[in-house]
Amino acid sequence: MMKYKISELKIKNFKCFTDVKFDFGGDNLVVFDGPNGYGKTTSFEALEILLTKAPRKIGKAKLDKRYTYENSPIHKFEDKEIEISVQLISSDGNHIKVKRVFPAATNGKSKKNNISQIYSDSRLFINDEEVSSESSLEDVLDYKNVYNLFNVLNYVEQDENTYFLKEDPKERYKALVSLLGGDEERILLEKVENFHLKLKLKVEQMETSISDLKQNNSDLLKNQFDEISYKKLIENSLNDFVWDNEVIKNTDINLHNSYLNEINKIENLFNNRQIVGEIVLLDKMNKYRNDTVFIDSFINNYWSVQNYNILEDENNRRNNNKKTIETNTKIVQYINSNDYNQLLNGENILFLSEKEKIKNEMEVFEVNLKLLLTLRESLSLQNQILSDLKDKRESLIILNRNHKDFIDLKEGECPVCGYDWQSSEKLIQQIEETESKIFKQYNEDNSKFEKQKEDLNKKYLESFKSLIIEENESLETELSKLVDFDFFSRLKDLYTSYKSRFEAFLSLFNEEVRKQINSMVNLRNIENKNLTKNDILELIDKEKPVVETDLSFDEIITDFNLYFTNDVEKLNKLSLEEIKQKRNYIEYQYFNSVNAGINNLEQRKLKLYGLQQEYDKVRKKLDEKIKNYTKSIIEKISIPFYIYTGKILQNHSLGSGLVIDFEMKRGDSQIYIRPTHRDQEVTYTLSSGQLSATVISLMLVLNKVFNHSKFGTLLIDDPLQTLDEINSHSLVELLKYNFSEQQIIISTHEDRYSKFIRYKYDKFNLYGRNIRMKEVI
């Protein structure tokens, strides 16, 4: 497979870099050299986030993501984007350009500036085209799971480069399997194990439930029950009692005992039914005795409730009287204002015709009223005509006077008919005489109208008016004696409630006492209500039953109301035999439910146990395959790892080379890294420099064995910092001999090591170059 190497790296606005370009030329060796603080590690980090989006060390950061910050930790200039790009080139000349762009930093305090979140937002470009998924880069480089594998197969960090060795052996196993494949199988195994555990717990729970049922009901299960027929104990109850149903599905001993306790309460009520009645009666009397609001209402409203029909009639009369008074008042107003048209209105005529002292005169009165209105209408028409005639005559005279010089008429000639009256004085005299003749008939008709009007008033209207006023006075007097409107409205709304409560109260007493109370309150007007109230309270106290018993009054009252709704007849209808039968039926139903529950649980337990066994077989097979897969990985890398560590470490005090052991005997699989013939982990036996060499060896081995991608570059950040000269020489020899086909990018802060590494590669005919970071910044 043709592998790609980096030919060019560009970094803009990232940490210490403003805008730099590194030309690698596709060489086999690139050495970043220079003092600390000039961007060597930053260059490696830029390559890491280009390929993986975020540095590995961020995943281990414990900083709270909710913290807000003013400044960005990665932008050199916060108002500009970060841009990192590489040109990749293969040996056959193919090119791939990869670029990642991070937006400008957020202004002001923001969670976006938190190091745990700032890498989450970036855009990825491949060959200058933006891609929507990170998997596009994996497809181009044929590098699956690049986010997790890059730091294992291609990159050794300067900081914390021994983290893998310091992991717990169990976690080291999980990490290695996760990174090098087997994810789907491990996830499947985890699901199978979780389900297997759930099945196991469920089976255990069922076994516990079966054991509890048998233990809690050991005495019951020893009995033999004959079939018991069902009969409802409490008929027509307002409450639904589960224990009184035909089918009682219950296996809870506590609930069963509560049912039996309820039967005991009912039996107790039945055995004390004579006292129960007296206790309930006493309780009711006490409640009424202490309810002063009720007593007042009883005194104030008892007569009204008993005589509701009388008050209803009074209320109807009140309404009718008020309507009559209102209409009478309007009729008087019409008479006073001579409003004959309203008096002749059909409703008003009918209203007047219904009055006993008027109805015989109404027919003649109506005729005279119509005649009067006809005469008034005729006068009105005449008056209009005469008025118009008079106006026109005046206009004609004025017109003739003002324009007589232009009219060809003689002094006494009439301008209308042309008759010559010899002089204008005679003409005017003649006009006035004619006018007098015309108005004479009008004046006669008007006198006739006034006479008719006067006769109508004297003969009818005045008497009508007197009668109506007299009637209104009588009706007003009657109104004051009728029931008050507001009182009756309240009574109407509360009538049913009053009637029910009053009857319930009186039902507490015998006939003689009821008559006595009735004589006190069945009065429309009670003179001394306080005295009446005191008499009633004394009577209640006198009639209260005296109950001597050790029973709890409150308990008796509560139970009686619950089961029998305070109905003594329901209680008296029961028998001890029925109560006993109900108790036995509840026991019988519980016995059946427990037996059925145990059988059901046993069957379910067997099914789940069988399923548990099947899943256990699957779990073991899957676990075995995963372990064999892991073992094969260890076998593939153990020999190269032993060789590589032997070459780099040379002969250390504990021997030559390191071994990787895979432990499967214990409950959890584990991976150990030890010196030869020693059982202690290298973490506790090697120096820090030797541990760094071990990590580098492991990365090189994993890369050699498992790196099947097209990406052919290894990044090693300042490995010589912790290695001695022998280890350093051995590492360079290993790289140039075993990884000559790959590009090595390495960093060092010592110039002599940079020259040494390049010299070694040059002697091996491999191209190399160094980049002086001090000259770049």
Point out the least confidently predicted range of 24-38, 119-133, 426-440: 426-440
CATH of the domain at 763: 3.40.50.300
Interior CA angle at 42 toward 128 and 3, to 5°?
50
The structure tokens listed for 521 are: 């309150």
- pLDDT: which is higher, 392 or 606: 606
Q: Domain for residue 104, yes or no? A: yes
Residue 497 burial (CB count, 10 A): 11
Residue 75 burial (CB count, 10 A): 20
Residues with Cβ within 8 Å of 533's Cβ and at least 6 positions away in sequence, in order, are 295, 296, 299
The answer on 125 and 102 residing in a single domain is: yes
Point out the least confidently predicted range of 126-140, 179-193, 423-437: 423-437
For residues 27 and 767, what is the distance between their CA atoms, to the nearest angstrom? 5
How, if at all, do strands 768-772 and 655-656 pair? unpaired
User: What pLDDT does 235 receive?
Assistant: 84
227-255 b/e (C-beta count within 10 Å ≥ 16 → b): eeeeeebbeebeeeeebbeeebebbebee
Q: Domain for residue 572, yes or no? A: no
Inter-residue contact 696 to 648 (CB < 8 Å): yes
Asked if the model's pLDDT at residue 214 lies above 90, the reply is no
User: What pLDDT does 80 receive?
Assistant: 95
For residues 711 and 698, what is the distance between their CA atoms, to the nearest angstrom? 18
Quickly tell me which residue has 């007296």 as its tokens. 278
Asked if the model's pLDDT at residue 776 lies above 50, the reply is yes
The answer on 146 and 224 residing in a single domain is: no
User: What pLDDT does 299 receive?
Assistant: 94
Q: Among residues 673, 305, 340, which one has the least CA distance to residue 505?
A: 305
For residues 431 and 395, what is the distance between their CA atoms, to the nearest angstrom? 13
For residues 584 and 573, what is the distance between their CA atoms, to the nearest angstrom? 20
Helix (H, G, I), strand (E, B) or coil at 168: coil
Q: Domain for residue 760, yes or no? A: yes
Q: Domain for residue 78, yes or no? A: yes
pLDDT mean over 648-657: 63
Q: Which of 706, 739, 768 is the last residue of a domain?
A: 706
Quickly tell me which residue has 């989450």 as its tokens. 120
The answer on 176 and 47 residing in a single domain is: no
The answer on 120 and 16 residing in a single domain is: yes
Q: Total structural domains in the chain?
A: 3
Question: Residues 329-338: contacts with CB within 8 Å, 24+ apart?
Answer: 329/472, 331/464, 331/468, 332/465, 332/468, 332/469, 335/461, 335/464, 335/465, 336/465, 338/453
Inter-residue contact 283 to 556 (CB < 8 Å): no
* Torsional sign, CA 517, 523, 528, 530: positive
The answer on 722 and 594 residing in a single domain is: no
Q: Looking at this protein, which amino acid is placed at residue 414?
A: C
- pLDDT: which is higher, 116 or 713: 713
Q: Among residues 555, 568, 548, 587, which one has the least CA distance to residue 270?
A: 568
Q: Looking at this protein, which amino acid is placed at residue 41?
A: T
Where residue 144 falls among pLDDT bands split at 50, 70, 90?
Answer: confident
Asked if the model's pLDDT at residue 181 lies above 70, the reply is no
Can you give the length of the chain in residues? 777
The answer on 664 and 590 residing in a single domain is: yes
Asked if the model's pLDDT at residue 199 lies above 50, the reply is yes
Q: Which of 646, 674, 706 is the last residue of a domain?
A: 706
Point out the least confidently predicted range of 249-263, 383-397, 488-502, 591-605: 383-397
**Alpha helix (H) residue ranges in 650-771:** 688-706, 725-738, 751-763
For residues 190 and 495, what is the distance between their CA atoms, to the nearest angstrom? 75
User: What pLDDT does 665 receive?
Assistant: 61
Asked if the model's pLDDT at residue 300 lies above 90, the reply is yes
Q: Domain for residue 557, yes or no? A: no
For residues 192 and 178, what is the distance between their CA atoms, to the nearest angstrom? 18
pLDDT tens by residue, 148-180: 888 888 998 875 556 666 667 777 666 666 655
Where residue 1 falls among pLDDT bands split at 50, 70, 90?
Answer: low
The answer on 147 and 3 residing in a single domain is: yes
Q: Looking at this protein, which amino acid is placed at residue 499?
A: K
Inter-residue contact 45 to 718 (CB < 8 Å): no
Q: In Å, how far are 275, 373, 454 from 378, measured between CA atoms?
A: 96, 9, 18
User: What pLDDT does 400 receive?
Assistant: 67
User: What pLDDT does 264 receive?
Assistant: 94
Give backbone dihedrals phi and psi of 524, rounded to 5 degrees, phi first.
-70, -40
Distance from the first to the final alpha carbon of the chain: 37
Inter-residue contact 658 to 682 (CB < 8 Å): yes
What domain range is 229 assigned to? Answer: 162-236+578-706
Where residue 651 falls among pLDDT bands split at 50, 70, 90?
Answer: low
For residues 709 and 706, what is the distance between their CA atoms, to the nearest angstrom? 9
- pLDDT: which is higher, 297 or 415: 297
Helix (H, G, I), strand (E, B) or coil at 406: coil
Report for 512-521, 594-603, 623-632: range of highest mean pLDDT: 512-521
Per-residue DSSP letter, 739: S
Asked if the model's pLDDT at residue 28 lies above 80, the reply is yes
Give backbone dihedrals phi and psi of 121, rounded to 5 degrees, phi first.
-115, 100
pLDDT tens by residue, 335-388: 888 888 888 888 888 888 888 888 888 888 888 888 888 888 877 776 666 666
Quickly tell me which residue has 């004394």 as its tokens. 538
Q: Which of 706, 721, 744 is the last residue of a domain?
A: 706
pLDDT tens by residue, 656-667: 678 887 776 655
Asked if the model's pLDDT at residue 431 lies above 50, the reply is yes
The answer on 131 and 21 residing in a single domain is: yes
Q: Domain for residue 748, yes or no? A: yes
User: What pLDDT does 654 receive?
Assistant: 47
**Alpha helix (H) residue ranges in 125-246:** 135-141, 146-153, 169-179, 183-216, 218-222
The answer on 144 and 37 residing in a single domain is: yes
The answer on 741 and 596 residing in a single domain is: no
For residues 290 and 297, what is the distance between their CA atoms, to the nearest angstrom? 13
pLDDT tens by residue, 432-464: 777 677 677 677 777 787 888 888 888 888 888
- pLDDT: which is higher, 240 or 95: 95
pLDDT mean over 120-133: 93
Name the percent of the chain in helix, strand, coil, to the closest 5. Answer: 60, 10, 25
The structure tokens listed for 188 are: 């499947």
User: What pLDDT does 574 receive?
Assistant: 92
User: What pLDDT does 660 receive?
Assistant: 81
User: What pLDDT does 296 receive?
Assistant: 94
The answer on 636 and 582 residing in a single domain is: yes
Could you write out the DSSP letters of every residue in 40-105?
HHHHHHHHHHHHHSS-HHHHT----TT--BSS-SSBSSTTS-EEEEEEEEETTS-EEEEEEEEPPP
Residues linked to residue 131 through DSSP beta bridges, in sequence order: 124
Q: Domain for residue 531, yes or no? A: no
Asked if the model's pLDDT at residue 419 lies above 70, the reply is no
Asked if the model's pLDDT at residue 719 lies above 60, the reply is yes
pTM value? 0.50
Q: Domain for residue 518, yes or no? A: no
The answer on 12 and 118 residing in a single domain is: yes
User: What pLDDT does 177 receive?
Assistant: 62
Inter-residue contact 661 to 672 (CB < 8 Å): yes
- pLDDT: which is higher, 9 or 172: 9
Mean pLDDT of the chain: 85
Where residue 505 falls among pLDDT bands split at 50, 70, 90?
Answer: very high
